[in-house]
Every structure is written in structure tokens, then in C-alpha cells.
Chains A and B, each alone.
Chain A
């Protein structure tokens, strides 16, 4: 039982390490299956037979997708969604109160903080995945920047750097969020993900259960759902 648990942890870590190296799902499935085959033959523990999962993943030197591939496919749309969500949040309060959208330079800098942190994610993604405190620190910085941007909102037009009609920004940001969610939904449901981890002996893909599909759809619609919640909150507190 202990052996099974430690082996499961080792295999989870191996898959994560290979994913971080942008190894294709088929190659990951092949690596996992051949490692399991040997363990079944020898009765050894994974760590004993293959050493640390991180070292083994590095030693295999499996072909990897170009580094910028996931940036183009996932990071830029997420970044655009975040930007639209932040704009929506700024515009929604002013819009429900029928006021101008007032923006100060400090507020803009604070709002830009999470956007910049996400934009530079490829530089420190490994650290976030491997060290939970890095993940907590980044989340805390983003949350703090959000709260501080609320504090830095100008109270009258004289203090503001920009005074805008909030409605076009509200509608525009909402449309961008919905368009991105529709795009992601179509991409994830109409095509079979060719990067799924597949068992080479059976050809079956893993992690395609109903639960996983629901999580994917909820993630696709995360920004519009949160924006609706913010709209409800703004209307309630009006």
C-alpha cells in the first residue's frame, strides 16, 4: 500500500516534470507505461529503479514542443481575458452608479501588476509549480494589487488622470470575455485534444472523464461568471 502510494506520487511527479518540459502526451504515456512495465517485472519501487522523477525526466531527453507554443495557445488568450475582466470591474461600479469612470496613474499601475505577472509567467512557471510558497506569494501580490487599486480610485474628477464614459468599456470588456470563452469552449469540445496522455498498449486516453470535462468548461467561462458576480454585487451595493 505504501509502495503503491509512493509510486503514484513518483508517477504524478514524472508526468508533471515531462509536462513542464513540453513533452507530447503520447511520449508521456509511453514513458509511464514502459516504467510501469519494468516495475511490474522487477517488483522494485519507482524511485529505486529510476531515481528521482525530475532526474529521470531530464535524462530521457524526449523531444519537446517549441517553448512558445503554449504561450500562443493558452497564455495570450488568458492574459486578454484577465485584462478584460479587470477593465469590466473598474467600469461596472461607475456604470451602475451612472458616474464617470475615473482613473489615476497609481490605480493604473496597480491594475497592470497582475497583467504583467501573468505575462511573465513563462519565466517563473517552474518555480510556481515546484514551490507552493511562490504560487501563494504571486496570488497574494495580485489580490493586494486589486484591493489597493480600489483604494487608489479617485473620488472626484479633479483627482483623476482619465475620466471616461464607463458604458463602452463595460460592454467592450464583456464582449471580449464572452468571445474568448466561446472560442475556448469550441476548441475544447469540438476537437479531441491530441496532447492527452495515452496508454500505448491500449490507445486509451486518460483524464477525459465527465468531471474533467466540467472543470474545463467552468475554467473556460471563469471570467464571465466572475464578471456576472461582480455585476450582481455592484447592483446590490448601489
Chain B
């Protein structure tokens, strides 16, 4: 996967609460690898393009290292075009299954949250 410059429709530059990002960044990074192997900057650009803000290398790489240790991703160094080599991350079968499971769980969780938030509030309550 190379860095894309097109902007998705729902992208917005928002500073999400750091707790929310901490909770979701793991499987978002895995999801960014679903289309195919990718490298650090391309993953960061992909997430930024979709409105998650700019993820720092100091946040992303430890996550990917942990996933590599857990067998969810594999890594491979490929020669760069005239520049330094690039470290590509790719999902393993186990990683792919994990993305599917986590995505389904997240959708269920957001559905429950949305239903709760959408319920009418009692009059006079804060």
C-alpha cells in the first residue's frame, strides 16, 4: 500500500480524546493493513486521511511490535527507491481473523453506545 493523497468524504481534522484513540488505535492500525502490506508512514497517512489525526511513530511502532510478537503481523524489509529500505508490515491469517473479530465487536459496541445516547433524557436531569 502506498501513501494516498485523496481525501475520503467523512475525513475531518478532529483532536479526539487520547483515551478513545488509545482504545481503538490498535485495531485501526491492523485494519489499515487489511488491503495489503504497508509501512509506518503510509499507515499514519491512511489514519490521518480518515480523520483520526496525526498518529506519532512513538505510538504506532510499539503497537505494531506488540502485534508482531503476538503473531498478528509479520515484517519484511524491502529496498527503497534510491532511498533507505522500508519495513513493511503484513497481516497474518491470525491478524486477519483478529481484525474481523474486533471490527464486529466495535460495531456492536458503538451500536449499544449510540442507542444509549439517543434515548430521551428525563426532564430536569443534568
Interface of A toward B, CB cutoff 8 Å? 30-31, 33-42, 44, 49-51, 55-56, 59-63, 200-202
Asked whether, in the complex, the Cβ of A49 is within 8 Å of the Cβ of B57, the reply is yes
Q: Is the CB of B62 within 8 A of A59?
A: yes
Choice from B57, B62, B79 contacting A38 with Cβ under 8 Å: B57
Asked if A201 meets B61 with Cβ closer than 8 Å, knowing A34-B40, A42-B41, A51-B56, the reply is no
Q: Is the CB of B79 within 8 A of A50?
A: no
**List of B residues within 8 angstroms of A30 by Cβ:** 75, 87
Given A33-B85, A37-B84: A201 in contact with B79 (beta carbons within 8 A) = yes
A34 contact set on B, CB distance < 8 A: 40, 61, 87
With CB as the reference atom, state the residue of chain B lying closest to A51.
B58
Q: Is B116 an interface residue (CB 8 A)?
A: no
Are A200 and B87 in contact, with the CB atoms below 8 A? Answer: yes
B101 at the interface (CB under 8 A from A): no
Residues of A within 8 A of B79 (CB): 201
Size class of the contact patch on chain B: 20 to 34
B residues adjacent to A (C-beta < 8 A): 39-41, 44, 56-58, 61-62, 65-66, 69, 75, 77, 79-80, 83-87
Q: How far is the CB of A34 from chain B (nearest CB, A)?
A: 5
The residue from B65, B84, B85, B86 contacting A60, defined by CB atoms under 8 A apart: B65
- Find A61's partner among B40, B66, B85 (CB 8 Å cutoff): B66
**Residue pair B40, A41 in contact (C-beta under 8 Å):** yes
Give the chain B neighbours of A51 by CB distance below 8 A.
Answer: 56, 58
CB distance from A56 to the nearest CB of B (A): 5
How far is the CB of A179 from the nearest CB of chain B, in Å?
A: 41
When A30-B87, A33-B87 are in contact, do A59 and B40 touch as well, CB less than 8 Å? no
Chain B residues whose C-beta falls within 8 Å of the C-beta of A50 in the assembled complex? 56-58, 61
Extra contacts besides A40-B84, A60-B65, A202-B85 (8): CB < 8 Å: A33-B84, A35-B57, A37-B39, A41-B41, A49-B58, A56-B58, A61-B69, A201-B85
B40 contacts A37, C-beta separation under 8 Å: yes
> Which residues on A sit within 8 Å (CB–CB) of B65?
60-62
Provide the bound-state CA to CA distance between A126 and B9, in Å: 51
- 27 A-B interface contacts by CB (under 8 A): A30-B75, A30-B87, A31-B61, A35-B57, A37-B39, A37-B41, A37-B80, A37-B86, A38-B41, A38-B44, A38-B61, A39-B57, A40-B83, A42-B41, A49-B57, A49-B58, A50-B56, A51-B58, A55-B58, A56-B62, A60-B62, A61-B62, A63-B69, A201-B77, A201-B79, A201-B85, A202-B85
